[in-house]
A and B are shown apart, each in its own frame.
Chain A
Amino acid sequence: MKNRLRVLRAEREWSQQDLADRLDVSRQSVNAIETGKYDPSLPLAFKLADIFGLAIEDIFLREEEQQAAAE
């Protein structure tokens, strides 16, 4: 699933490790989520949303949004 994690991190000047520390997960997990290789569980998605102060749908893109972004 596509997401805006890289942009959101860049806006805050956080490395993947910085975000991993905030989430209490490994850096590899952040990398897997960010690159769309792994879709997080709901609790982890809510944790991400809380950290960025956004709603889940502001971080993860729905299928229609992904298609629109690709076009």
Chain B
Amino acid sequence: MMTEAVQSTAKPGVWAGLFCTNMALIFVLSITGAIEHPVPMILLACNMVLLIPLVKSASRAQEEKGAVSKAMRAYNRRFLTFSFIYMVVMLGAAFAAGKLAEGSPAMWVLAVLPMLPAFGMIWAMVRYLQEEHDEYLRLRAVNASMVGLGLVLVLGTGWGFLETFDLVPHIWAWWVFPAWAIGLGIGMALPERGGEVS
């Protein structure tokens, strides 16, 4: 059978690069004190918009590679929905926090709210692993989540020690979820060794 070399039009790497660069910039500006609360939260929430073209273009790339399944489509849809809710809640919480008195009970609600869509994204991953009947794609997703976990553990442990010795400033712990998601994306994008299409 003839094999046609098709030039991929999907460029998830470009969107992922832009997303990560923005995250890194916001992080640097935040720890150096160039921007102060709630600006980093607002900027991070705005950056989440990039997840829409990123996930769409990654889905297109998966379709072109023949690596998509019904479960994967459902996962992409759920992940995007929860990302959108996360963005809205983060923005809302950042704006509302400034209007509330420190220590007010409503502040607890604001703090808990962004956790819900974050849990939703984890639920989407769990559902994917339950619904995916293609064992190879399931293995790839598990491996990718291990890359994410590894990234969080390495960065967290490393930063923790640096912070203990007062070499770097303190950062908020909620960075773990974006870091894990970035690791997951890197894990999914890692090229497979060898393999020809026919």
Contact = CB atoms under 8 A, between A and B. Distances in A.
A57 B167 CA distance: 60
Interface stretch (B26-34, B107-115, B158-166, B187-195): B187-195
Given A16-B66, A35-B195, 20 more contacts: A9-B198, A13-B1, A15-B1, A26-B68, A27-B197, A28-B65, A28-B66, A28-B67, A28-B192, A29-B136, A31-B195, A31-B197, A32-B136, A32-B192, A32-B195, A33-B136, A37-B192, A38-B139, A40-B135, A44-B135
A38 B66 contact: no
Interface in A1-31: 6, 9, 13, 15-17, 20, 24-29, 31
Main secondary structure of the interface of A (DSSP, over half): helix
Contact of A6 (B193, B194, B198): B198
A26 B194 contact: no
A67 interface: no
Interface in B130-152: 133-137, 139
B137 A37 contact: no
Interface in A31-57: 31-33, 35, 37-38, 40-41, 44
A41 B198 contact: no
Given A6-B198, A15-B1, A37-B192, A27 B67 contact: yes
B22 interface: no
The 3 nearest A-B residue pairs measured at CB: A27-B66, A28-B67, A29-B136
Nearest to A43: B135
Contacts, number: 57
Given A15-B1, A17-B66, A25 B134 contact: yes
Interface residues of A, number: 22
B198 A15 contact: yes
Given A15-B1, A15-B198, A37-B194, A20 B66 contact: yes
A26 B192 contact: no
Contacts of A29: 134-137
B197 A41 contact: no
B76 interface: no
Contacts of A6: 198
18 contacts: A6-B198, A15-B1, A15-B198, A16-B66, A17-B66, A25-B136, A26-B67, A26-B136, A27-B65, A27-B66, A27-B197, A28-B136, A29-B135, A31-B196, A31-B197, A32-B136, A38-B139, A40-B136
